[in-house]
Structure 1
Amino acid sequence: MLKDSTMWYASWFDTPYYHILYKDRDHKEAKEFMDNLTNYLNLEPNEKILDLACGKGRHSIYLNQLGYDVTGVDLSKNSIEYASQFENQTLRFRVHDMSKPYAEKFSAVFNLFTSFGYFEKEECNLNTIKAIKSDLNEKGLGVIDFMNVDYVIDNLVPEETKEVSGITFHIKRYLQDGYIYKEIKFNNNDEDFFFTERVKALTLEDFQNYFDDAEVSLLDIFGNYKLQKFHKSNSPRLILIFK
Structure 2
Amino acid sequence: MLKDYAMWYTSWFDTSYYHTLYKDRDYDEAKQFMDNLTQYLNLESEDKILDLACGKGRHSIYLNSLGYDVTGVDLSKNSIKHASQFENDTLKFRVHDMCKPYEEKFSAVFNLFTSFGYFDNEEDNLNTIKAIKADLNTRGLGVIDFMNVDYVIEHLVPNETKEVEGIVFTINRFVKDGYIYKEIRFKDHEESFFFTEKVKAISLDDFMRYFEKADVNLLDVFGNYNLQKFDKKTSERLILIFR
| TM-score bracket for the superposition, by shorter chain length | over 0.9
- Look up the match of 2:32: 32
Following the alignment from structure 2 to structure 1, what is the Cα–Cα distance between the partners of residues 125 and 2? 26
* 1:2 Cα deviation from its structure 2 partner: 3.8
- Look up the match of 2:110: 110
User: Which residue identity is paired with 2:16?
Assistant: P
- Look up the match of 2:59: 59
Following the alignment from structure 1 to structure 2, what is the Cα–Cα distance between the partners of residues 120 and 153? 20
**Deviation beyond 4 Å, 4+ runs, structure 1:** none
> Identity rate of aligned residues, in percent?
76
1:80-159 matches, within 5 Å, as 80-159=80-159
* 1:210 aligned onto 2:210: yes
Structure 1 residues 91-150: Cα deviation after superposition (integer angstroms, max 9, x where no partner): 000000000000100000000000000011000000000000000000000000000000
User: Which residue identity is paired with 1:109?
Assistant: V
Give the gaps of 5 or more residues in structure 2.
none
- Look up the match of 1:236: 236
* 1:16 Cα deviation from its structure 2 partner: 0.3
User: Which residue identity is paired with 1:229?
Assistant: K
Give the gaps of 5 or more residues in structure 1.
none
* 1:5 Cα deviation from its structure 2 partner: 1.1
Following the alignment from structure 2 to structure 1, what is the Cα–Cα distance between the partners of residues 165 and 174? 26
* 1:4 Cα deviation from its structure 2 partner: 1.9
- Look up the match of 2:180: 180
Alignment length, in residue pairs? 243
* TM-score (ref. length: structure 1): 0.99
* TM-score (ref. length: structure 2): 0.99
* Aligned partners of 2:55 and 2:79 also within 8 Å: yes
- Look up the match of 2:22: 22
- Look up the match of 1:77: 77
* Aligned partners of 2:2 and 2:8 also within 8 Å: no
- Look up the match of 2:7: 7
* Aligned partners of 2:2 and 2:11 also within 8 Å: no
Following the alignment from structure 1 to structure 2, what is the Cα–Cα distance between the partners of residues 200 and 91? 31
* 1:195 aligned onto 2:195: yes
User: Which residue identity is paired with 2:156?
Assistant: L
Following the alignment from structure 1 to structure 2, what is the Cα–Cα distance between the partners of residues 2 and 87? 32
